[in-house]
């Protein structure tokens, strides 16, 4: 534990040690203005005589602006003492498997955090360019449409954007699950969520047995605005600890539009000048400074990354909002969840034409580049062709093939929550569908084919080795398709059993 930590003090001890006492002059909860602390510093923790914590936001000419970190109201003339300590969060591998608030306190009495290794300052400067490395490793989400069309890299900051109830959280949990299974430390920052939503995340972690790699930092709507504001900072500090300890980290921030709303509330109560949408002018700097702490870094243990997936909520699909456009310009791309596609029944409802990845493609192999290019070309052609078909024109064989293959691939992209598909298997299944080896499987059954094949891939070593070797040895898409054709019967004996579509495949296997 850090020396002279504010956690070691009560009000009287702090007053005795630093011999400075202030008094609350005005209250605009959760902001209070304190007079009488001549040597206090920005971001320092102060103690109220009632036992509550405060966080110094700014220094004014005759007073100090303090953010109260509790629900308890603070009265005028309440005494305030310094601690000479910055706000910190406890860190350590001991926190894995727990649900904590932004100050590191367990949210559940039945699951206390009994020990921790050290403290890390919550709000720090991002490290410089000299400590960073180029992003070269791919981050697999386990979600086919993203891995094949909007690939991500370890250390990337990718915005997840879309309306409420369009499947963003489900996608984030799928990515969380896939990375936790690979041993990556996964941190979920739930910012100002309903308690029921926090419980759903906890239940997901428990149901999938990934506690050993997971940590949830959560604040609810009932928490004070100060704690909600600090939630993503605390989660980022924990991510930096695990990175420095030699672990890759996936950090999900759900969501930063809620964070911006609470920051706006705090800022306006602090008399900041409102700008566009009533947000203070420094909201861009606030989020940029936070997200810049993610990336791919050199550490004493080697090169390790913090991959950050911040979430931004849109209204009626409008991605031109102030906070949304801010986040787009800060991050390395975005995955857009389309309300219209969701209404059509697409799961996940990702609009790959409006989604962008600026870093992920540089982590792809030549084969993945080819697959992505061919998919995008076909899906673009499919969209144009479907518009043309609306006019009632007669369809040539080429147009019918485009429509059939495109629609089957879109059906293949449908993926239920709790199900993740390994990247190599995604590529093989794409090739099998592309070559029309599963024509006996209808589009509805195709949705379940990938799930059942994934179970076979995980359980049967022979199938797993075959899939991995085909993908590893293929240098480009034509080589992959040739290898799949050569091994057609063997692949189909594992992929297209009688349970799918109600009929046996060409090889009669199961």
Measured distance CA(368)–CA(352) in Å, rounded: 16
Q: What count of residues does the chain have? A: 510
Alpha-carbon span 99 to 90, nearest angstrom: 13
Candidates 17, 132, 272, 358; catalytic one: 358
Element of type H or E holding 452: helix 443-459
Asked whether 253 and 189 are in contact (CB, 8 A), the reply is yes
Cα–Cα distance between 493 and 276 in angstroms, integer? 60
- For residue 182 the two structure tokens come to 């690979």
- Using only C-alpha atoms, the chain has a radius of gyration, in whole angstroms, of 26
In terms of DSSP bridges, do strands 99-100 and 214-220 run parallel, antiparallel, or are they unpaired? parallel
Q: Which two tokens stand for residue 498?
A: 């009688």
Residue 122 DSSP one-character state: S
Question: What one-character DSSP code corresponds to residue 59?
Answer: E
Q: Tell me how crowded residue 496 is: count the other CB atoms within 10 A of its CB.
A: 26
CA gap 185, 249 in Å, rounded: 5
Check if the beta carbon of residue 280 is closer than 8 Å to that of residue 224. no
Rounded CA-CA distance 145/66 in Å is: 46
Instruction: Report the distance separating Cα 49 and Cα 54, nearest Å.
Output: 11
Residue for token digits 């990515």?
A: 175
Alpha helices in 350-396, H assignment, sequence order: 366-389
Cis ω on the peptide bond leading into residue 348 (within 30° of 0)? yes
Q: Which two tokens stand for residue 18?
A: 């630093």
- Map residue 81 onto helix, strand or coil: strand
Within 10 A of 260 (CB to CB), how many other CB atoms are there?
Answer: 25
Residues contacting residue 357 through CB under 8 Å, at least 6 positions apart = 150, 151, 152, 156, 158, 332, 333
Residue 491 CA, distance from chain mean position:
34
Task: Look at residues 291, 297, 249, 251 and name the one whose alpha carbon lies nearest to residue 135.
Answer: 297
Which residues of 282-324 form beta strands (DSSP E)? 295-299, 302-313
The sign of the CA dihedral 230, 232, 235, 241 is negative
79 catalytic, yes or no? no
What's the CA gap between 349 and 342, in Å, rounded? 5
Residues with a known catalytic role: 358
């Amino acid at each position: 534990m850090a020396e002279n930590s504010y956690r070691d003090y009560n009000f009287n001890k702090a007053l005795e040690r630093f011999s400075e006492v202030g008094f609350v002059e005005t209250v605009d909860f959760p902001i209070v203005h304190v007079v009488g602390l001549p040597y206090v510093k920005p971001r320092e923790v102060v103690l109220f005589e009632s036992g509550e914590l405060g966080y110094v936001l700014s220094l004014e000419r005759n007073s100090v602006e303090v953010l109260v970190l509790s629900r308890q109201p603070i009265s005028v003339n309440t005494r305030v003492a310094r601690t000479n300590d910055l706000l910190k969060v406890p860190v350590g591998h001991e926190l894995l498997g727990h649900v904590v608030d932004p100050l590191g306190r367990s949210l559940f009495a039945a699951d206390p955090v009994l020990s921790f290794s050290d403290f890390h300052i919550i709000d720090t400067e991002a490290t410089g360019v000299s400590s960073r490395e180029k992003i070269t490793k791919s981050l697999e989400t386990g979600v086919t449409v993203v891995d094949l069309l909007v690939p991500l890299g370890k250390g990337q900051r990718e915005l997840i954007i879309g309306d409420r109830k369009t499947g963003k959280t489900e996608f984030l949990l799928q990515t969380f699950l896939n990375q936790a299974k690979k041993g990556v430390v996964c941190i979920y920052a739930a910012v100002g969520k309903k308690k029921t939503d926090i419980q759903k995340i906890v239940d997901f972690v428990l149901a999938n047995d990934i506690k050993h790699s997971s940590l949830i930092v959560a604040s609810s709507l009932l928490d004070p605005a100060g704690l909600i504001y600090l939630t993503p900072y605390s989660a980022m500090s924990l991510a930096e600890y695990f990175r420095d300890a030699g672990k890759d980290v996936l950090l999900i921030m759900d969501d930063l539009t809620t964070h911006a709303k609470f920051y706006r509330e705090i800022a306006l109560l602090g008399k900041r000048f409102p700008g566009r949408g009533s947000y203070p002018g420094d909201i861009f700097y606030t989020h940029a400074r936070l997200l810049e702490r993610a990336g791919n870094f050199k550490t004493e243990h080697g090169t390790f990354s913090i991959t950050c997936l911040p979430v931004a909520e849109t209204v009626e699909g409008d991605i031109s909002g102030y906070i949304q456009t801010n986040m787009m310009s800060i991050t390395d791309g975005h995955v857009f969840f389309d309300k219209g596609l969701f209404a059509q029944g697409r799961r996940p409802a990702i609009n790959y034409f409006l989604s962008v990845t600026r870093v992920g493609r540089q982590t792809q192999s030549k084969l993945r580049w080819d697959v992505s290019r061919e998919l995008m070309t076909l899906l673009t052609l499919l969209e144009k062709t479907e518009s043309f078909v609306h006019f009632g024109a007669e369809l040539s064989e080429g147009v019918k093939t485009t429509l059939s293959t495109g629609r089957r691939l879109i059906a293949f992209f449908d993926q239920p929550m709790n199900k993740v598909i390994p990247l190599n298997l995604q590529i093989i299944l794409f090739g099998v569908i592309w070559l029309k080896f599963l024509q006996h499987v209808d589009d509805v059954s195709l949705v379940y084919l990938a799930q059942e094949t994934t179970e076979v891939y995980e359980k049967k070593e022979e199938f797993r080795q075959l899939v991995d070797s085909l993908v590893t040895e293929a240098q480009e898409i034509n080589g992959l398709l040739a290898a799949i054709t050569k091994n057609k019967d063997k692949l189909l004996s594992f992929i297209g059993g009688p349970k799918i579509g109600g009929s046996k495949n060409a090889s009669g296997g199961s």
